[in-house]
Structure 1
Amino acid sequence: MPTHDLLSSPAGDDLRRQSCAGACGRDTPKLTREEITKHLASVPQWKVDAELTRLSRRLVAKNFKEAISFFNHVMEIAEAEGHHPDLHLTNYRDVQVGISTHAIKGLSIYDFILAAKIDAAPVECSPKWLAAQEQELRGGHQHQTPESTQSSDKQTLVEAEIATTSAQCI
Structure 2
Amino acid sequence: MKNIIVFLLVIAFSSPAFSKCYSMKEAEAEQGIRIHSELMVIGLNCQHLTPKGQTNLYTQYKDFTQKNAHLFSGYEKTLLSFYQSEGVKNPERHLHEVRTDFANKISQDVAKMRPDSFCAAYAPRISKANQMDTAKLKKWAATIFPGHPVSRPICAKN
Task: Give the structure-2-normalised TM-score.
Answer: 0.25
Q: Which has the higher contact order (CA 8 A, sep 6+)?
A: 2
If you compute each CA radius of gyration, which structure gives the higher value, 1 or 2? Answer: 2
Higher strand share: 1
